[in-house]
Amino acid sequence: MQEVSLERFCGRTLSGDEIDQIKEIVSTCRGISRTELANTVCELFDWRRPTGRLKTVECRQFLEHLAAKGVFDLPDRKAGRPRGVKFTVKRTDKGQSPGIITGNVKDFFPLRLRKVTTKAQRELWYEYVDRYHYLGYQLPFGAQLRYFIESGNGEDLVVGCLQFSSAAWKMAARDRWIGWSDEQRRGNLQKIVNNSRFLIFPWVKVKNLASSVLALAIRRVAEDWQASYGCRPAVIETLVDRSRFAGTCYKAANFIYVGTTTGRGRMDREHGCHGQSVKDIYVYPLSSRFRQELLGL
């Protein structure tokens, strides 16, 4: 096995001894699944969310990152389990376009967000996003909340999908705007959530619908995130591919432009993807004291 350089998990640098302990767990706990290994590692180091639940998803992805670098070998994935964070999403009649929908945004009030909670809802949400979002569906890194965007005027009508997930570990422009140190970022990054998917279906042609949905999400997401993960976010962030979009709906919803990314993915620790996909960074403070909350003041 290769010697491992300094590694980071959820914003903290792991010591050589900690990496050695992880290697020992992987070596001695043969016969258990990757998820069970991740749970074992989380329990050893007490890697938990504010709710007390283990950070299993993040830890499993971290173990797979180390395995890809040759630090150790992981057990094979279970039969039928997709490889990596991408997987094949089923196509059904429910995910097909019903035809072009137009009108004034007020005709679709009241708008609402329906939280995705059941297996059937998740599968339909996956299908919509995989079919109609330009990035398709990928398993988000860490915590996440998903919603259907619905119009409640008369018969319920689904017009799109939203997803919020864990914030990016580091973004220079965002971090300069906040003004925090590395230590403050590590301690309070969980108070930022990322709007990682926003989809208005291509057959829905309603002006100002997207900004109205964002206004609704701004009022809703902090409470839902706190209920699910025990931490109330102070800021929403999002990344906009400027080669495709102008960020108009975020600007209309009073999001603040703070700069651009370097083009690295959140797990691109070796800088292999530097500059490949530069995106505009927008933020929205959810609290008048957001900066004090993020700085721990």
In terms of pLDDT, which residue wins out, 123 or 17?
123
Would you state the torsion angle of the CA atoms of residues 165, 167, 169, 174, taken in this order, to the nearest 10 degrees? 150
Q: How large is the greatest C-alpha to C-alpha distance in the chain, in angstroms?
A: 62
Residues with Cβ within 8 Å of residue 51, at least 6 apart in sequence: 228, 229, 230
Residues with Cβ within 8 Å of residue 270, at least 6 apart in sequence: none
Note the pLDDT of residue 106: 92
Note the pLDDT of residue 81: 45
Examine the pLDDT at 265 and tell me if it is beyond 80. no
Helix intervals (H) in the chain: 16-28, 34-45, 56-68, 119-132, 172-178, 182-188, 209-229, 248-252, 290-295
Question: pLDDT tier at 142 (50, 70, 90 boundaries)?
Answer: low
Note the pLDDT of residue 82: 44
Measured between alpha carbons, how far is residue 115 from residues 88, 148, 156, 221, 227 in Å?
A: 23, 7, 14, 10, 12
Examine the pLDDT at 270 and tell me if it is beyond 60. no
Note the pLDDT of residue 225: 94
Q: Which residues of 239-259 are buried (b: 16+ CB within 10 A; e: fewer)?
A: bbeeeeeebebbeebebeebe
The rounded radius of gyration (Å) of the Cα atoms in the chain is: 20
pLDDT tens profile 64-106? 989 988 889 888 876 544 444 455 788 899 899 989 999 999 9
In terms of pLDDT, which residue wins out, 1 or 72?
72
Examine the pLDDT at 126 and tell me if it is beyond 60. yes
Note the pLDDT of residue 272: 41
Q: What is the DSSP letter of 25?
A: H
In terms of pLDDT, which residue wins out, 138 or 64?
64
pLDDT tens profile 14-68? 888 888 889 888 887 767 788 888 888 888 888 888 777 888 888 888 999 899 8
| Integer Cα distance of 22 and 117 in angstroms | 33
Note the pLDDT of residue 2: 46
Note the pLDDT of residue 55: 87
| Integer Cα distance of 55 and 20 in angstroms | 20
Note the pLDDT of residue 275: 47
Note the pLDDT of residue 293: 96
Question: pLDDT tier at 12 (50, 70, 90 boundaries)?
Answer: confident
Amino acid letter at 5?
S
For range 140-158, the mean pLDDT: 82
pLDDT tens profile 223-260? 999 998 888 999 999 999 989 999 999 999 999 999 99
Superfamily assignment of 93-295 in CATH? Gcn5-related N-acetyltransferase (GNAT) (3.40.630.30)
Asked which of 217-231, 257-271, 281-295 is least confident by mean pLDDT, the reply is: 257-271
| Integer Cα distance of 137 and 86 in angstroms | 7
Note the pLDDT of residue 1: 46
8 A C-beta contact, residue 263 and residue 172: no
| Integer Cα distance of 238 and 193 in angstroms | 9
pLDDT tens profile 165-210? 988 888 999 999 999 998 899 889 889 999 999 999 999 999 999 9
Residues with Cβ within 8 Å of residue 238, at least 6 apart in sequence: 194, 195, 196, 198, 250, 255, 281, 282, 283
